[in-house]
Structure 1
Protein backbone atom coordinates (compact mmCIF):
# COMPACT_ATOMS: atom_id res chain seq x y z
CA UNK A 1 0.00 0.00 0.00
CA UNK A 2 1.44 3.43 -0.92
CA UNK A 3 2.74 5.50 1.99
CA UNK A 4 0.45 8.39 0.99
CA UNK A 5 -2.59 6.15 1.49
CA UNK A 6 -1.46 5.05 4.96
CA UNK A 7 -0.78 8.70 5.81
CA UNK A 8 -4.34 9.61 4.77
CA UNK A 9 -5.80 7.00 7.10
CA UNK A 10 -3.63 8.22 9.98
CA UNK A 11 -4.62 11.86 9.37
CA UNK A 12 -8.26 10.82 9.56
CA UNK A 13 -7.56 9.23 12.94
CA UNK A 14 -7.51 5.55 12.01
CA UNK A 15 -5.34 3.37 14.22
CA UNK A 16 -3.91 0.35 12.35
CA UNK A 17 -4.87 -2.01 15.17
CA UNK A 18 -8.47 -0.75 15.29
CA UNK A 19 -10.72 -2.68 12.93
CA UNK A 20 -14.47 -2.19 13.43
CA UNK A 21 -16.38 -4.35 10.92
CA UNK A 22 -18.52 -1.42 9.85
CA UNK A 23 -19.51 2.14 10.61
CA UNK A 24 -23.02 3.48 10.93
CA UNK A 25 -24.37 6.98 10.45
CA UNK A 26 -27.63 8.86 10.25
CA UNK A 27 -28.33 11.72 7.87
CA UNK A 28 -30.88 14.45 7.22
CA UNK A 29 -30.94 16.16 3.86
CA UNK A 30 -32.65 16.90 0.57
CA UNK A 31 -32.63 15.25 -2.84
CA UNK A 32 -34.23 15.73 -6.24
CA UNK A 33 -36.75 13.34 -7.76
CA UNK A 34 -35.24 13.97 -11.22
CA UNK A 35 -32.29 15.99 -12.48
CA UNK A 36 -34.69 18.30 -14.32
CA UNK A 37 -36.62 19.16 -11.16
CA UNK A 38 -36.23 22.51 -9.42
CA UNK A 39 -37.71 21.21 -6.18
CA UNK A 40 -36.03 19.24 -3.41
CA UNK A 41 -37.52 16.52 -1.20
CA UNK A 42 -36.52 16.22 2.45
CA UNK A 43 -35.25 12.85 3.66
CA UNK A 44 -33.89 11.16 6.76
CA UNK A 45 -31.64 8.15 6.36
CA UNK A 46 -29.53 5.59 8.17
CA UNK A 47 -26.56 3.85 6.63
CA UNK A 48 -24.04 1.14 7.42
CA UNK A 49 -20.75 0.90 5.53
CA UNK A 50 -18.49 -2.15 5.76
CA UNK A 51 -14.79 -1.58 6.37
CA UNK A 52 -13.47 -5.03 5.39
CA UNK A 53 -15.28 -5.44 2.05
CA UNK A 54 -17.16 -3.31 -0.48
CA UNK A 55 -20.67 -3.22 0.96
CA UNK A 56 -23.13 -0.64 2.27
CA UNK A 57 -26.83 -0.33 3.05
CA UNK A 58 -28.57 3.08 2.88
CA UNK A 59 -32.23 3.34 3.90
CA UNK A 60 -34.22 6.56 3.70
CA UNK A 61 -37.67 7.92 4.45
CA UNK A 62 -38.85 10.62 2.06
CA UNK A 63 -41.80 12.96 1.78
CA UNK A 64 -44.65 13.82 4.14
CA UNK A 65 -44.63 11.54 7.19
CA UNK A 66 -41.91 9.43 5.55
CA UNK A 67 -44.46 7.47 3.53
CA UNK A 68 -41.94 6.74 0.76
CA UNK A 69 -38.98 4.49 1.55
CA UNK A 70 -35.81 4.14 -0.48
CA UNK A 71 -33.03 1.60 -0.22
CA UNK A 72 -29.68 1.84 -2.00
CA UNK A 73 -27.26 -0.99 -1.25
CA UNK A 74 -24.31 -3.09 -2.29
CA UNK A 75 -24.47 -6.60 -0.83
CA UNK A 76 -22.41 -9.68 -1.68
CA UNK A 77 -21.19 -8.05 -4.87
CA UNK A 78 -24.67 -7.16 -6.11
CA UNK A 79 -26.34 -3.75 -6.29
CA UNK A 80 -29.81 -2.90 -5.09
CA UNK A 81 -32.04 0.15 -5.52
CA UNK A 82 -35.69 -0.03 -4.41
CA UNK A 83 -38.45 2.50 -3.75
CA UNK A 84 -41.60 1.53 -1.87
CA UNK A 85 -44.69 3.22 -0.45
CA UNK A 86 -45.75 2.47 3.11
CA UNK A 87 -42.78 0.12 3.29
CA UNK A 88 -44.47 -2.65 1.27
CA UNK A 89 -45.87 -1.32 -2.03
CA UNK A 90 -43.15 -1.44 -4.73
CA UNK A 91 -42.84 1.74 -6.79
CA UNK A 92 -39.49 1.18 -8.51
CA UNK A 93 -36.73 -1.41 -8.55
CA UNK A 94 -33.51 -1.27 -10.53
CA UNK A 95 -32.56 -4.33 -12.57
CA UNK A 96 -29.54 -6.25 -11.32
CA UNK A 97 -26.95 -5.46 -13.99
CA UNK A 98 -23.19 -4.82 -14.11
CA UNK A 99 -23.97 -1.12 -14.59
CA UNK A 100 -25.91 -1.07 -11.31
CA UNK A 101 -23.02 -2.78 -9.51
CA UNK A 102 -20.54 -0.27 -10.97
CA UNK A 103 -22.68 2.62 -9.79
CA UNK A 104 -22.94 1.20 -6.29
CA UNK A 105 -19.23 0.40 -6.14
CA UNK A 106 -18.45 3.99 -7.09
CA UNK A 107 -20.72 5.20 -4.31
CA UNK A 108 -18.89 2.98 -1.82
CA UNK A 109 -15.50 4.24 -2.98
CA UNK A 110 -16.60 7.88 -2.88
CA UNK A 111 -18.01 7.53 0.63
CA UNK A 112 -14.83 6.07 2.10
CA UNK A 113 -14.51 9.43 3.87
CA UNK A 114 -17.30 8.12 6.14
CA UNK A 115 -15.61 4.73 6.59
CA UNK A 116 -11.90 5.60 6.81
CA UNK A 117 -11.02 2.31 8.52
CA UNK A 118 -11.61 0.70 5.10
CA UNK A 119 -8.55 2.53 3.78
CA UNK A 120 -6.32 0.14 5.72
CA UNK A 121 -8.57 -2.88 6.21
CA UNK A 122 -10.52 -3.48 2.99
CA UNK A 123 -8.41 -5.89 0.88
CA UNK A 124 -10.69 -5.38 -2.15
CA UNK A 125 -9.41 -1.83 -2.66
CA UNK A 126 -6.62 -0.89 -5.06
CA UNK A 127 -4.83 2.44 -4.59
CA UNK A 128 -2.80 4.75 -6.81
CA UNK A 129 -1.13 8.05 -5.94
CA UNK A 130 -1.90 10.65 -8.62
CA UNK A 131 -0.23 13.64 -6.97
CA UNK A 132 0.30 15.39 -3.63
CA UNK A 133 -3.43 16.09 -3.26
CA UNK A 134 -4.99 13.28 -5.27
CA UNK A 135 -5.45 9.53 -4.80
CA UNK A 136 -7.33 7.02 -6.93
CA UNK A 137 -9.12 4.04 -5.40
CA UNK A 138 -10.63 1.21 -7.39
CA UNK A 139 -12.43 -2.10 -6.91
CA UNK A 140 -14.22 -4.72 -8.96
CA UNK A 141 -13.08 -6.56 -12.08
CA UNK A 142 -14.25 -6.89 -15.66
CA UNK A 143 -17.62 -5.30 -16.36
CA UNK A 144 -17.92 -4.04 -12.78
CA UNK A 145 -14.44 -2.48 -12.47
CA UNK A 146 -14.84 0.94 -10.88
CA UNK A 147 -12.55 3.81 -9.93
CA UNK A 148 -12.98 7.07 -8.03
CA UNK A 149 -10.48 9.92 -7.71
CA UNK A 150 -10.25 11.45 -4.23
CA UNK A 151 -9.11 15.05 -3.83
CA UNK A 152 -7.58 16.22 -0.54
CA UNK A 153 -8.06 19.58 1.16
CA UNK A 154 -5.41 21.77 2.80
CA UNK A 155 -5.58 19.58 5.93
CA UNK A 156 -4.98 16.44 3.90
CA UNK A 157 -8.54 15.16 4.38
CA UNK A 158 -10.91 13.95 1.66
CA UNK A 159 -12.71 16.94 0.15
CA UNK A 160 -13.89 15.65 -3.23
CA UNK A 161 -14.68 12.40 -5.01
CA UNK A 162 -14.89 12.15 -8.79
CA UNK A 163 -15.77 9.43 -11.30
CA UNK A 164 -15.63 10.30 -15.01
CA UNK A 165 -18.10 7.61 -16.10
CA UNK A 166 -20.61 6.62 -13.43
CA UNK A 167 -23.70 5.00 -15.01
CA UNK A 168 -26.87 7.08 -14.70
CA UNK A 169 -29.01 4.05 -15.59
CA UNK A 170 -28.81 0.37 -14.67
CA UNK A 171 -30.07 -0.64 -18.14
CA UNK A 172 -29.17 0.52 -21.68
CA UNK A 173 -28.56 3.27 -22.40
CA UNK A 174 -26.51 3.40 -19.20
CA UNK A 175 -25.39 6.99 -19.88
CA UNK A 176 -21.90 7.04 -18.32
CA UNK A 177 -21.58 10.56 -16.95
CA UNK A 178 -19.04 12.51 -14.88
CA UNK A 179 -20.14 12.43 -11.24
CA UNK A 180 -18.67 14.14 -8.22
CA UNK A 181 -19.19 14.65 -4.52
CA UNK A 182 -17.95 17.17 -1.98
CA UNK A 183 -17.28 16.65 1.73
CA UNK A 184 -16.80 19.38 4.32
CA UNK A 185 -17.28 20.47 7.94
CA UNK A 186 -15.12 17.77 9.50
CA UNK A 187 -15.82 17.01 13.17
CA UNK A 188 -13.75 14.88 15.54
CA UNK A 189 -15.67 11.84 16.84
CA UNK A 190 -13.54 9.93 19.33
CA UNK A 191 -10.29 9.74 17.32
CA UNK A 192 -11.86 9.92 13.83
CA UNK A 193 -12.31 13.00 11.65
CA UNK A 194 -15.75 12.72 10.02
CA UNK A 195 -17.13 15.04 7.30
CA UNK A 196 -20.62 16.08 8.36
CA UNK A 197 -21.72 17.88 5.17
CA UNK A 198 -21.89 16.31 1.70
CA UNK A 199 -23.25 17.15 -1.74
CA UNK A 200 -23.39 15.04 -4.91
CA UNK A 201 -23.81 16.23 -8.51
CA UNK A 202 -23.78 15.02 -12.11
CA UNK A 203 -21.74 16.98 -14.66
CA UNK A 204 -24.12 17.35 -17.60
CA UNK A 205 -23.08 18.97 -20.90
CA UNK A 206 -24.70 22.29 -20.01
CA UNK A 207 -23.85 22.49 -16.30
CA UNK A 208 -23.27 20.61 -13.06
CA UNK A 209 -26.55 19.53 -11.46
CA UNK A 210 -26.52 18.88 -7.72
CA UNK A 211 -29.17 16.35 -6.75
CA UNK A 212 -28.36 15.13 -3.21
CA UNK A 213 -27.27 16.97 -0.06
CA UNK A 214 -27.03 15.89 3.54
CA UNK A 215 -25.77 16.64 7.00
CA UNK A 216 -24.59 13.78 9.18
CA UNK A 217 -26.49 13.68 12.48
CA UNK A 218 -24.60 10.80 14.12
CA UNK A 219 -21.68 8.51 13.36
CA UNK A 220 -20.06 5.59 15.14
CA UNK A 221 -17.50 2.95 14.30
CA UNK A 222 -19.13 -0.29 15.33
CA UNK A 223 -22.46 -0.17 13.54
CA UNK A 224 -24.53 0.11 16.73
CA UNK A 225 -25.32 3.50 18.20
CA UNK A 226 -24.81 3.70 21.94
CA UNK A 227 -26.02 6.23 24.48
CA UNK A 228 -22.53 7.72 24.43
CA UNK A 229 -22.74 8.19 20.66
CA UNK A 230 -26.19 9.76 20.95
CA UNK A 231 -24.77 12.33 23.35
CA UNK A 232 -22.35 13.48 20.63
CA UNK A 233 -25.03 14.60 18.20
CA UNK A 234 -25.09 18.16 19.50
CA UNK A 235 -21.36 18.45 18.99
CA UNK A 236 -21.60 17.17 15.41
CA UNK A 237 -24.63 19.18 14.33
CA UNK A 238 -24.07 22.32 16.37
CA UNK A 239 -22.24 25.47 15.28
CA UNK A 240 -18.61 25.09 14.20
Structure 2
Protein backbone atom coordinates (compact mmCIF):
# COMPACT_ATOMS: atom_id res chain seq x y z
CA UNK A 1 0.00 0.00 0.00
CA UNK A 2 2.90 2.37 0.69
CA UNK A 3 3.70 3.10 -3.01
CA UNK A 4 0.02 3.73 -3.77
CA UNK A 5 -0.31 5.97 -0.73
CA UNK A 6 2.72 7.96 -1.84
CA UNK A 7 1.29 8.31 -5.33
CA UNK A 8 -2.07 9.48 -3.97
CA UNK A 9 -0.39 12.06 -1.73
CA UNK A 10 1.73 13.24 -4.64
CA UNK A 11 -1.30 13.63 -6.88
CA UNK A 12 -3.19 15.47 -4.13
CA UNK A 13 -0.27 17.85 -3.66
CA UNK A 14 0.01 18.54 -7.37
CA UNK A 15 -3.76 19.06 -7.64
CA UNK A 16 -3.78 21.49 -4.70
CA UNK A 17 -0.81 23.39 -6.12
CA UNK A 18 -2.58 23.66 -9.46
CA UNK A 19 -5.76 24.93 -7.82
CA UNK A 20 -3.86 27.50 -5.77
CA UNK A 21 -2.01 28.70 -8.88
CA UNK A 22 -5.28 28.97 -10.78
CA UNK A 23 -6.86 30.88 -7.88
CA UNK A 24 -3.94 33.31 -7.74
CA UNK A 25 -4.12 33.87 -11.50
CA UNK A 26 -7.87 34.44 -11.47
CA UNK A 27 -7.64 36.80 -8.49
CA UNK A 28 -4.88 38.82 -10.13
CA UNK A 29 -7.01 39.20 -13.25
CA UNK A 30 -10.01 40.41 -11.25
CA UNK A 31 -7.89 42.93 -9.33
CA UNK A 32 -6.34 44.18 -12.56
CA UNK A 33 -9.81 44.82 -13.96
CA UNK A 34 -10.75 46.76 -10.81
CA UNK A 35 -7.61 48.87 -11.18
CA UNK A 36 -8.67 49.76 -14.71
CA UNK A 37 -12.10 50.78 -13.42
CA UNK A 38 -10.52 52.88 -10.67
CA UNK A 39 -8.42 54.72 -13.24
CA UNK A 40 -11.37 55.17 -15.61
CA UNK A 41 -13.46 56.69 -12.82
CA UNK A 42 -11.07 59.56 -12.16
CA UNK A 43 -12.28 63.09 -12.85
CA UNK A 44 -10.00 65.77 -14.24
CA UNK A 45 -12.63 68.36 -15.15
CA UNK A 46 -12.81 71.66 -13.21
CA UNK A 47 -14.98 71.76 -10.11
CA UNK A 48 -17.74 74.42 -10.24
CA UNK A 49 -16.20 75.80 -13.41
CA UNK A 50 -12.83 76.41 -11.74
CA UNK A 51 -9.65 74.39 -12.02
CA UNK A 52 -8.80 72.83 -8.65
CA UNK A 53 -5.66 74.13 -6.93
CA UNK A 54 -2.47 72.17 -7.42
CA UNK A 55 -0.82 73.42 -4.21
CA UNK A 56 -1.94 74.07 -0.64
CA UNK A 57 -2.56 77.74 0.15
CA UNK A 58 -2.85 78.44 3.90
CA UNK A 59 -5.32 81.24 3.17
CA UNK A 60 -8.02 78.61 2.69
CA UNK A 61 -7.82 77.86 6.43
CA UNK A 62 -9.51 81.15 7.24
CA UNK A 63 -12.75 80.56 9.12
CA UNK A 64 -12.07 76.88 9.87
CA UNK A 65 -12.41 75.58 13.46
CA UNK A 66 -9.24 76.19 15.46
CA UNK A 67 -8.28 72.49 15.90
CA UNK A 68 -8.64 71.98 12.14
CA UNK A 69 -6.38 74.95 11.42
CA UNK A 70 -3.80 73.54 13.88
CA UNK A 71 -3.97 70.20 12.12
CA UNK A 72 -3.25 71.52 8.65
CA UNK A 73 -0.44 73.72 9.96
CA UNK A 74 1.05 70.67 11.69
CA UNK A 75 0.94 68.33 8.69
CA UNK A 76 1.33 70.60 5.64
CA UNK A 77 3.85 73.24 4.59
CA UNK A 78 2.96 76.28 2.49
CA UNK A 79 2.88 75.26 -1.16
CA UNK A 80 2.51 71.53 -0.45
CA UNK A 81 1.41 69.89 -3.73
CA UNK A 82 -2.12 68.50 -3.69
CA UNK A 83 -2.18 64.70 -3.57
CA UNK A 84 -3.69 63.19 -6.68
CA UNK A 85 -3.16 59.51 -5.81
CA UNK A 86 -1.20 57.29 -3.42
CA UNK A 87 -0.17 53.65 -3.22
CA UNK A 88 0.00 52.28 0.33
CA UNK A 89 1.58 48.98 1.35
CA UNK A 90 0.81 47.65 4.83
CA UNK A 91 1.35 44.70 7.15
CA UNK A 92 -0.50 43.88 10.35
CA UNK A 93 -3.13 41.67 11.92
CA UNK A 94 -6.84 41.23 11.22
CA UNK A 95 -9.43 39.89 13.68
CA UNK A 96 -11.78 37.47 11.90
CA UNK A 97 -14.13 37.12 14.91
CA UNK A 98 -17.06 39.49 15.50
CA UNK A 99 -17.17 38.66 19.21
CA UNK A 100 -13.75 37.35 20.28
CA UNK A 101 -10.09 37.27 19.33
CA UNK A 102 -9.07 35.49 16.12
CA UNK A 103 -6.18 37.56 14.87
CA UNK A 104 -4.40 36.59 11.67
CA UNK A 105 -1.47 38.30 9.91
CA UNK A 106 -2.07 40.16 6.67
CA UNK A 107 -0.24 42.10 4.01
CA UNK A 108 -1.93 44.50 1.60
CA UNK A 109 -1.45 46.99 -1.18
CA UNK A 110 -3.93 49.83 -1.59
CA UNK A 111 -4.40 52.28 -4.41
CA UNK A 112 -6.19 55.55 -3.57
CA UNK A 113 -7.37 58.30 -5.90
CA UNK A 114 -8.85 61.60 -4.78
CA UNK A 115 -10.91 62.86 -7.74
CA UNK A 116 -13.40 61.32 -7.68
CA UNK A 117 -12.84 59.61 -4.31
CA UNK A 118 -11.93 55.96 -4.72
CA UNK A 119 -9.69 53.16 -3.50
CA UNK A 120 -8.83 49.52 -4.03
CA UNK A 121 -7.48 47.47 -1.12
CA UNK A 122 -6.03 44.07 -2.10
CA UNK A 123 -5.10 42.02 0.96
CA UNK A 124 -3.85 38.55 1.75
CA UNK A 125 -4.71 37.12 5.19
CA UNK A 126 -2.75 34.08 6.32
CA UNK A 127 -5.05 31.50 7.92
CA UNK A 128 -2.64 28.55 8.13
CA UNK A 129 0.71 27.79 6.51
CA UNK A 130 -0.06 27.61 2.81
CA UNK A 131 -3.70 28.66 3.25
CA UNK A 132 -4.75 32.28 2.68
CA UNK A 133 -7.87 34.38 2.28
CA UNK A 134 -7.75 37.03 -0.41
CA UNK A 135 -9.81 40.17 0.26
CA UNK A 136 -10.72 43.10 -1.95
CA UNK A 137 -12.32 46.18 -0.42
CA UNK A 138 -13.05 49.01 -2.83
CA UNK A 139 -14.99 52.14 -3.64
CA UNK A 140 -14.91 52.87 -7.36
CA UNK A 141 -17.07 55.46 -9.15
CA UNK A 142 -19.70 55.36 -6.42
CA UNK A 143 -19.87 51.55 -6.16
CA UNK A 144 -18.74 49.64 -3.09
CA UNK A 145 -17.31 46.11 -3.11
CA UNK A 146 -16.30 43.58 -0.48
CA UNK A 147 -15.08 40.24 -1.84
CA UNK A 148 -13.28 37.59 0.20
CA UNK A 149 -12.28 34.16 -1.07
CA UNK A 150 -10.12 31.31 0.26
CA UNK A 151 -7.06 31.07 -2.02
CA UNK A 152 -8.94 33.43 -4.32
CA UNK A 153 -11.24 30.55 -5.29
CA UNK A 154 -13.86 29.75 -2.68
CA UNK A 155 -16.02 32.78 -1.91
CA UNK A 156 -16.69 33.69 1.72
CA UNK A 157 -18.29 37.09 1.04
CA UNK A 158 -19.17 39.01 -2.11
CA UNK A 159 -21.20 42.21 -1.72
CA UNK A 160 -21.30 44.92 -4.36
CA UNK A 161 -23.57 47.89 -4.98
CA UNK A 162 -24.42 51.56 -4.62
CA UNK A 163 -26.42 51.31 -1.39
CA UNK A 164 -25.13 50.69 2.13
CA UNK A 165 -22.00 48.91 0.89
CA UNK A 166 -21.07 52.01 -1.15
CA UNK A 167 -21.67 54.26 1.83
CA UNK A 168 -19.52 51.98 4.01
CA UNK A 169 -16.61 51.95 1.57
CA UNK A 170 -16.79 55.71 0.89
CA UNK A 171 -16.64 56.17 4.66
CA UNK A 172 -13.43 54.12 4.78
CA UNK A 173 -11.87 56.34 2.10
CA UNK A 174 -12.86 59.43 4.09
CA UNK A 175 -11.61 58.10 7.44
CA UNK A 176 -8.25 57.14 5.97
CA UNK A 177 -7.62 60.62 4.55
CA UNK A 178 -5.01 61.20 7.28
CA UNK A 179 -2.77 59.28 4.84
CA UNK A 180 -3.55 61.78 2.08
CA UNK A 181 -4.24 64.93 4.13
CA UNK A 182 -4.68 67.43 1.31
CA UNK A 183 -7.95 65.56 0.52
CA UNK A 184 -9.36 67.05 3.74
CA UNK A 185 -8.90 70.66 2.65
CA UNK A 186 -11.98 72.81 1.97
CA UNK A 187 -10.79 73.27 -1.63
CA UNK A 188 -11.20 69.50 -2.06
CA UNK A 189 -14.85 69.59 -1.04
CA UNK A 190 -14.71 69.01 2.74
CA UNK A 191 -16.88 71.11 5.04
CA UNK A 192 -15.69 71.45 8.66
CA UNK A 193 -17.81 72.33 11.70
CA UNK A 194 -16.53 72.93 15.23
CA UNK A 195 -17.46 70.58 18.06
CA UNK A 196 -15.06 71.65 20.81
CA UNK A 197 -11.43 72.64 21.30
CA UNK A 198 -10.18 69.21 20.22
CA UNK A 199 -12.86 67.87 17.86
CA UNK A 200 -14.55 68.82 14.61
CA UNK A 201 -17.03 67.22 12.24
CA UNK A 202 -16.05 66.84 8.60
CA UNK A 203 -18.65 66.37 5.87
CA UNK A 204 -18.05 65.28 2.28
CA UNK A 205 -20.33 64.49 -0.64
CA UNK A 206 -19.78 62.11 -3.54
CA UNK A 207 -22.72 61.76 -5.90
CA UNK A 208 -25.80 60.84 -3.82
CA UNK A 209 -23.71 60.02 -0.75
CA UNK A 210 -23.09 62.52 2.04
CA UNK A 211 -20.96 61.52 5.03
CA UNK A 212 -20.02 63.17 8.31
CA UNK A 213 -17.18 61.90 10.49
CA UNK A 214 -15.98 63.17 13.86
CA UNK A 215 -12.23 63.80 13.96
CA UNK A 216 -10.44 64.21 17.28
CA UNK A 217 -7.09 66.01 17.36
CA UNK A 218 -4.34 65.29 19.89
CA UNK A 219 -2.14 67.73 21.79
CA UNK A 220 0.27 67.97 18.84
CA UNK A 221 -2.57 69.02 16.57
CA UNK A 222 -2.59 65.72 14.67
CA UNK A 223 -5.62 63.50 14.03
CA UNK A 224 -5.67 61.05 16.91
CA UNK A 225 -8.94 59.31 16.09
CA UNK A 226 -12.09 59.29 13.98
CA UNK A 227 -15.61 58.05 14.64
CA UNK A 228 -18.89 57.42 12.82
CA UNK A 229 -22.06 56.63 14.69
CA UNK A 230 -23.21 54.13 12.05
CA UNK A 231 -21.29 52.18 9.42
CA UNK A 232 -22.39 49.02 7.65
CA UNK A 233 -20.53 45.71 8.00
CA UNK A 234 -21.17 42.12 7.03
CA UNK A 235 -22.04 39.83 9.95
CA UNK A 236 -22.51 36.45 8.34
CA UNK A 237 -24.63 37.15 5.27
CA UNK A 238 -26.34 40.22 6.75
CA UNK A 239 -25.31 43.87 6.51
CA UNK A 240 -25.64 45.51 9.93
CA UNK A 241 -24.70 48.99 11.10
CA UNK A 242 -22.80 49.89 14.25
CA UNK A 243 -20.65 52.72 15.59
CA UNK A 244 -17.16 52.58 14.10
CA UNK A 245 -13.94 54.23 15.21
CA UNK A 246 -10.21 54.23 14.65
CA UNK A 247 -6.99 55.54 16.15
CA UNK A 248 -3.92 56.93 14.39
CA UNK A 249 -0.38 56.91 15.77
CA UNK A 250 3.31 56.72 14.78
CA UNK A 251 3.27 59.92 12.73
CA UNK A 252 6.22 60.36 10.38
CA UNK A 253 7.23 62.83 7.70
CA UNK A 254 6.80 61.65 4.12
CA UNK A 255 7.17 63.91 1.07
CA UNK A 256 6.97 66.93 3.37
CA UNK A 257 3.75 65.85 5.12
CA UNK A 258 3.13 64.42 8.59
CA UNK A 259 1.09 61.23 8.22
CA UNK A 260 0.34 58.29 10.54
CA UNK A 261 2.11 55.01 9.91
CA UNK A 262 0.04 52.90 12.33
CA UNK A 263 -3.73 52.55 12.59
CA UNK A 264 -6.19 50.56 14.69
CA UNK A 265 -9.89 50.23 13.83
CA UNK A 266 -12.81 48.83 15.85
CA UNK A 267 -16.55 48.25 15.82
CA UNK A 268 -18.56 49.34 18.85
CA UNK A 269 -21.06 46.54 19.33
CA UNK A 270 -23.66 46.00 22.10
CA UNK A 271 -21.29 43.54 23.79
CA UNK A 272 -18.41 46.02 23.74
CA UNK A 273 -15.57 47.40 21.65
CA UNK A 274 -14.42 44.94 18.98
CA UNK A 275 -11.03 45.85 17.43
CA UNK A 276 -10.53 44.13 14.10
CA UNK A 277 -7.64 45.82 12.31
CA UNK A 278 -4.12 46.85 13.35
CA UNK A 279 -1.79 47.80 10.53
CA UNK A 280 1.50 49.59 9.92
CA UNK A 281 2.51 51.25 6.67
CA UNK A 282 5.57 49.75 5.01
CA UNK A 283 5.55 51.96 1.89
CA UNK A 284 3.90 55.20 0.75
CA UNK A 285 4.19 56.41 -2.84
CA UNK A 286 2.46 59.70 -3.64
CA UNK A 287 1.44 61.22 -6.95
CA UNK A 288 0.76 64.95 -6.99
CA UNK A 289 -1.40 67.27 -9.06
CA UNK A 290 0.40 69.17 -11.79
TM-score of the aligned structures, taking structure 1 as reference length:
0.82
Provide the C-alpha distance between the structure 2 equivalents of 1:171 and 1:33, rounded to a whole number of angstroms. 11
CA distance change for structure 1 residues 173 and 97 in 2, over 3 Å: closer, same or farther? farther
Task: Point out where structure 1 has 5 or more consecutive residues left out of the alignment.
Answer: 224-240
Residue in structure 1 matching 2:94, options 22, 25, 31: 31
CA contact (8 A) 1:53 1:124 kept: no
Pairs within 5 Å for 1:107-126: 107-120=172-185, 123-126=188-191
Q: CA deviation at 1:170?
A: 9.3
Residue in structure 2 matching 1:177, options 242, 246, 256: 242
Instruction: Please identify, of 79-88 and 209-218, the stretch whose mean Cα deviation from structure 2 is larger.
Output: 79-88
The CA deviation string for residues 85-128 of structure 1, in whole angstroms up to 9 with x for no partner, is 33355442114141111111211111111110212276343322
Provide the C-alpha distance between the structure 1 equivalents of 2:197 and 2:100, rounded to a whole number of angstroms. 38
Query: What is the SS of the residue equivalent to 1:221?
Result: strand
Q: CA deviation at 1:142?
A: 9.0
The CA deviation string for residues 20-45 of structure 1, in whole angstroms up to 9 with x for no partner, is 31122111011112312422011001
CA contact (8 A) 2:109 2:122 kept: yes
Name whichever structure is richer in helix by fraction: 2
Task: Point out where structure 2 has 5 or more consecutive residues left out of the alignment.
Answer: 1-59
Provide the C-alpha distance between the structure 1 equivalents of 2:226 and 2:251, rounded to a whole number of angstroms. 15
Partner in structure 2 of residue 43 of structure 1: 106
Partner in structure 2 of residue 229 of structure 1: none
Provide the C-alpha distance between the structure 1 equivalents of 2:117 and 2:251, rounded to a whole number of angstroms. 23
Q: Which has the larger radius of gyration?
A: 2
Partner in structure 2 of residue 148 of structure 1: 213
CA contact (8 A) 1:9 1:119 kept: no
Q: CA deviation at 1:6?
A: 5.0
Partner in structure 2 of residue 228 of structure 1: none
Partner in structure 2 of residue 232 of structure 1: none
Query: What is the SS of the residue equivalent to 1:21?
Result: strand
Provide the C-alpha distance between the structure 1 equivalents of 2:285 and 2:147, rounded to a whole number of angstroms. 26
Pairs within 5 Å for 1:212-231: 212-222=277-287
Provide the C-alpha distance between the structure 2 equivalents of 1:25 and 1:182, rounded to a whole number of angstroms. 18
Query: What is the SS of the residue equivalent to 1:3?
Result: coil
Provide the C-alpha distance between the structure 2 equivalents of 1:121 and 1:14, rounded to a whole number of angstroms. 16
Residue in structure 2 matching 1:3, options 52, 61, 64: 64
1:59 aligns with 2:146: no
Provide the C-alpha distance between the structure 2 equivalents of 1:28 and 1:113, rounded to a whole number of angstroms. 18
CA contact (8 A) 2:71 2:217 kept: no
CA contact (8 A) 1:25 1:48 kept: yes
CA contact (8 A) 1:134 1:149 kept: yes
Provide the C-alpha distance between the structure 2 equivalents of 1:185 and 1:67, rounded to a whole number of angstroms. 28
Query: What is the SS of the residue equivalent to 1:67?
Result: strand
1:206 aligns with 2:281: no
CA distance change for structure 1 residues 14 and 87 in 2, over 3 Å: closer, same or farther? farther
